[in-house]
């Protein structure tokens, strides 16, 4: 008996010590959080955090007008809402009053991974919370759907911000209404909450007072070692970019070199994550001399850099260097996302100048016609763009944080709230996921370039309509004449494939090929044949619009990479001895992946 008492006493002391240690840790973390929150840049333009007041006025006026002109519709919504809410409450009250902590499973449950825990269907309290959330979400969606008096863009914005509110108030986002988090807190004697607070403080510190969940283990990867590690040399550097020539992986290569222009919103190693899913390595294995641009991560001194600087000091210089090193008169080019948009402007400009240095061009998920701005419509109206213009006028750059936040909130459930719940309430460490690591390694945008892109290309749709003025020329999509291929991705929310197709059809080229890959903006492009994961669609229909193309399209199993390479091979000339970086006598400035890719975000 005495031994049992000693054991109990020892266990109590250990629990008390653990509790005191956790309390001390929480106090320390709370002080760090206060200090981190104090780092927040209070000068950040408020327009970057939400729509302008005119948006709320228009939405509120439309709802008030609808309520006054059609009160029966509003009353009908309210009656249905309160009837269902009362039914759910009565059901839960009866079960709890009878002491039932488990009731027959609710079969009418949406397929929503947030509510995977069985308690959402069988526990009276959590079932009521879930039912009421779904009821509230339905009520908001119905009110917005039936709202009259707004144009299509305003309606789209109301729908977007309504979804943001619905996602924010999901019961899974709060400790008292999240059974998974509560269960783990009990099982770990509160350690999960301490770990979660530590994760929260870490993220606030990392973003200088702002909050954005860390999606991937920041210590799991090192660029140049376990990602972005394909062998090559930096063969050119200027203020805009480093040009990397990769070491060949075959004895023979095609005569015409390939130059890839990745987007400068993120870093180029999305195309070289790991050997098994590296497009860069795969291209080398097919027998090509490959050059890839690594863009400079701009600081405030780049405030006056515009799209013309990217064209002249980036595209033109990269092409000229590749020609000089290989001794060829032409190269093939690839542009991804915004780099593809700018490549189209560069090609149109080169056509007007009689420059035939680029033999063919491929575009990955590239928008060139912005008449339909898709989900980005929300962020391309004057209130947001005006705020960006004010911000970059003051700071010189658009900090990478704002782009990361915008991209994340387009998929808030998956990229904001889901990771936040796991990290802050469950106390879990972020996973070692190369793609998410890259996603968090974003870059700043030069002030002038950001405004040019938003005002001229997105809002005015200059390339597709009246023409875009660049380097002394006014260029249009119809000015592009060389052979071109475009790769769209089926579920892309950044560059919807239909809109990619619409712009691509306006190119002046006679030789045009369009492919639609399954999946989205990244996974649809980084889709190696070895995975045998996503298929693709092809069609001969061009000139009749995306719907006609899709109706005639044929599905093919597997990656589009081999189909593209077969197209590229026909435009890449005969086989020659593989070219090793430096053997032409051109100066080597360092090893791949270079220095620019290692530069972090600069406030």
Tokens of residue 282, six digits: 């795969």
* Parallel, antiparallel or unpaired: strands 536-538 and 512-517: antiparallel
Neighbouring C-alpha atoms within 13 Å toward the C-beta of 550: 14
* Parallel, antiparallel or unpaired: strands 590-591 and 232-237: antiparallel
Going 484 to 489 to 490 to 495, the CA torsion angle's sign is negative
Tokens of residue 132, six digits: 């009421």
Tokens of residue 211, six digits: 């909050």
Q: Note every long-range contact of 350-356, with CB atoms under 8 Å and residues 24 or more positions apart, other chains counting.
A: 350/316, 351/479, 351/480, 351/481, 351/482, 352/473, 352/475, 352/479, 353/473, 356/329, 356/330
Helix ranges (DSSP H) in 429-485: 434-439, 447-452
Q: Phi and psi (nearest 5°) for 26?
A: -65, -35
Q: Of all helices (H) and strands (E), which one includes residue 445?
A: strand 445-446
Q: Which of 48, 62, 316, 337 is catalytic?
A: 337
Neighbouring C-alpha atoms within 13 Å toward the C-beta of 250: 16
Q: Shortest CA distance to 396 belongs to which of 451, 326, 349, 329?
A: 451
State how far the Cα of 535 lies from the Cα of 516, in Å rounded to an integer.
Answer: 9
Return the bridge partners of 333, or none.
259, 361
Query: Which residues, 6+ apart, have CB-to-CB distance to 102 below 8 Å?
Result: 122, 123
DSSP 8-state secondary structure symbol assigned to residue 301:
G
Query: Which residues, 6+ apart, have CB-to-CB distance to 283 below 8 Å?
Result: 258, 290, 565
Helix ranges (DSSP H) in 146-190: 152-168, 179-187
User: For residue 582, how many other CB atoms are within 10 A of its CB?
Assistant: 14
Query: Which residues, 6+ apart, have CB-to-CB distance to 485 below 8 Å?
Result: 360, 361, 362, 363, 512, 513, 514, 515, 564, 567
State how far the Cα of 543 lies from the Cα of 545, in Å rounded to an integer.
Answer: 6
Return the bridge partners of 364, or none.
336, 487
500 catalytic per annotation: no
- CA trace torsion 112, 116, 122, 126 (10° rounding): -80
Q: Phi and psi (nearest 5°) for 441?
A: -100, 60
- Give the active site residues: 337
């Amino acid at each position: 008996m005495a031994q049992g008492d000693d054991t109990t006493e020892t266990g109590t002391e250990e629990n008390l010590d653990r509790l005191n240690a956790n309390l001390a840790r929480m106090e320390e973390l709370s002080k760090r959080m206060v200090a981190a929150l104090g780092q927040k840049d209070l000068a950040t333009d408020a327009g970057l955090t939400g729509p302008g007041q005119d948006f709320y006025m228009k939405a509120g006026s439309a709802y008030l007008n609808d309520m006054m002109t059609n009160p029966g519709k509003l009353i009908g919504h309210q009656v249905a809402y309160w009837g269902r809410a009362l039914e759910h409450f009565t059901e839960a009250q009866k079960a709890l009053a009878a002491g039932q902590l488990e009731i027959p499973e609710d079969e009418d449950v949406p397929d929503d991974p947030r509510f995977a825990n069985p308690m959402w269907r069988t526990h009276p309290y959590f079932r009521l919370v879930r039912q009421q959330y779904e009821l509230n979400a339905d009520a908001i969606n119905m009110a917005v759907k039936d709202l009259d008096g707004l144009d299509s863009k305003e309606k789209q914005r109301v729908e977007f911000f309504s979804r943001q509110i619905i996602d924010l108030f999901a019961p899974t986002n709060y400790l008292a209404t999240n059974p998974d988090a509560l269960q783990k807190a009990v099982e770990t004697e509160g350690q999960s909450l301490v770990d979660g607070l530590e994760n929260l403080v870490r993220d606030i510190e990392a973003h200088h007072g702002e909050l954005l969940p860390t999606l991937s283990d920041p210590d799991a990867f090192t660029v140049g070692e376990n990602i972005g590690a394909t062998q090559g040399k930096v063969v050119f550097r200027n203020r805009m970019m480093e040009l990397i020539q990769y070491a060949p992986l075959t004895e023979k290569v095609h005569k015409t070199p390939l130059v890839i222009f990745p987007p400068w919103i993120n870093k180029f190693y999305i195309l070289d994550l790991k050997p098994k899913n590296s497009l860069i390595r795969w291209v080398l294995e097919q027998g090509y001399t490959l050059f890839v641009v690594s863009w400079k991560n701009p600081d405030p001194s780049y405030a006056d850099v515009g799209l013309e600087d990217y064209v002249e000091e980036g595209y033109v210089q990269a092409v000229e260097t590749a020609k000089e090193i290989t001794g060829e008169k032409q190269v093939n080019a690839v542009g991804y996302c915004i780099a593809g948009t700018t490549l189209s402007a560069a090609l149109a400009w080169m056509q007007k100048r009689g420059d035939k240095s680029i033999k063919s061009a491929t575009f990955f998920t590239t928008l060139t016609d912005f008449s339909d701005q898709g989900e980005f419509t929300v962020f391309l109206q004057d209130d947001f763009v005006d705020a960006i213009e004010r911000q970059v006028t003051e700071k010189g750059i658009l900090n990478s944080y704002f782009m990361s936040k915008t991209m994340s909130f387009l998929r808030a459930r998956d990229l904001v709230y889901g990771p936040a719940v796991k990290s802050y309430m469950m106390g879990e460490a972020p996973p070692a996921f190369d793609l998410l690591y890259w996603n968090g390694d974003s870059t700043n945008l030069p002030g002038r370039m950001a405004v040019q892109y938003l005002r001229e290309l997105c809002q005015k749709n200059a390339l597709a309509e009246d023409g875009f003025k660049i380097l002394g020329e006014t260029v249009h999509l119809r000015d592009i004449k060389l052979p071109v291929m475009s790769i769209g991705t089926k579920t892309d929310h950044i560059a919807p494939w239909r809109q990619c197709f619409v712009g691509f059809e306006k190119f002046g080229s006679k030789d045009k090929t369009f492919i639609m890959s399954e999946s989205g903006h990244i996974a649809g492009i980084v889709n190696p044949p070895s995975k045998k994961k996503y298929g693709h669609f092809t069609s001969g229909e061009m000139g009749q619009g995306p719907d006609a193309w899709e109706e005639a399209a044929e599905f093919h199993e597997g990656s589009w990479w081999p189909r593209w390479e077969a197209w590229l091979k026909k435009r890449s000339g005969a086989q020659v001895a593989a070219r090793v970086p430096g053997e032409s006598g051109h100066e080597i400035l360092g090893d791949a992946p270079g220095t620019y890719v290692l530069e972090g975000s600069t406030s």
